Amino acid sequence: MKTRKLGNLEVSALGLGCMGMSSAYGPAADKGEMIKLMRFAHDQGITMFDTAEAYGPFVNEELVGEALAPIRDKVVIATKFGFDIDLETGARRGGTNSRPEHIKAVAEASLKRLKTDRIDLFYQHRVDPAVPIEDVAGAVKGLIAEGKVEHFGMSEAGVATIRKAHTVQPVTALQSEYSLFTRDPEAELLPVLEELGIGFVPFTPLGAGLLTGKIDASTKFDATDFRNLVPRFDADAREANLALVAAITSIAVGNRTTPAQVALAWLLAQKPWIVPIPGTTKQHRLEENIGSVNLEMTSADLAEIETVLAKFEVVGERLPEAVLKMTGL
């Protein structure tokens, strides 16, 4: 497995997003199987595992903590704070909460669930409009000074907010959605991250599964799957967006690879400090994703993809409106 740098944090070129093992994409997967999958991922060279208190809430952190306990010192665990969740009951109270005292309480709770003495990368999950970002960065800086956190990250933050935070506590990584379907970060975000030396961690790099080529217009999702609420996945939008999937599949066939591998290799080719975190609950999909790291995209390949993208307009928002309002972009 190749490695990359997020700021000064070295990780595998591909991370593993663990959210879908416990929530969002339907019923939770079998706990024992997911523990095996995470350990298999590490055996294949993956060193960065992404979770959050909000995934469940809490159950995904507990799962990740149990899975990685035997190899704790060989991996990077990234988790997140920032939603208003009752730390005793896990009840969601709605909205964000990045008050410094809450950040510290979340860190303590996450450390216990993750069975560790430090969090390698602690992201603010969403920008909290009620708390100055300088106070948020200061709280994480304090946790770093205490040795409870190693690196500060941000998720779905805009460039002005990132700059302010970075002056208080250097930001190691910024996480946001980026894929062949969602190219918003390219205009303003990526240049600022490059300027400041901040790594970028794209989530949903496979378009919530659409870019794998395994979803079509007739695919039905479990009632608890969040994609039922995503505008990009409603019937008309999905059918329109499958045109891009068909074009990427054609390129993949020409390269004797898969559309998922093309999508991930394209991301990896954009910048050397980009580390996608595709999620999966299946070993063969994990192996497929890992294969993208060694797929070299030629200038001709990239030019062909750019030609396809220039002719295509994505239909539908990437997230429900209520969730989009909570981003800092």
Catalytic pick among 25, 55, 123, 178: 55
Please spell the DSSP secondary structure of 3-62, one letter per residue: EEEETTEEEESS-EE-GGGTSSBSSPPPHHHHHHHHHHHHHTT--EEE--TTTTTTHHHH
Identify the three-state secondary structure at position 1: coil
Beta strands 92-96; 3-6: pairing state: unpaired
Q: Are 266 and 178 in contact (CB under 8 A)?
A: no
Dihedral over Cα of 147, 148, 153, 154: its sign: negative
Quote the distance between the C-alpha of residue 134 and its chain's center: 24
Q: Is 25 a catalytic residue?
A: no
List 64's β-bridge partners, or say none. Answer: none
Q: What is the DSSP string of 216-281?
A: -TT----TTBGGGG-GGGSHHHHHHHHHHHHHHHHHHHHTTS-HHHHHHHHHHHH-TTB----B-S
- For 208, counting Cβ atoms within 10 Å of its Cβ (0-12 exposed, 13-18 middle, 19+ buried), the class is buried
**Residue 32 CB-density burial (10 A; 0-12 exposed, 13-18 middle, 19+ buried):** exposed
Structure-token pair, residue 318: 């990437």
The residues assigned a catalytic role are: 55
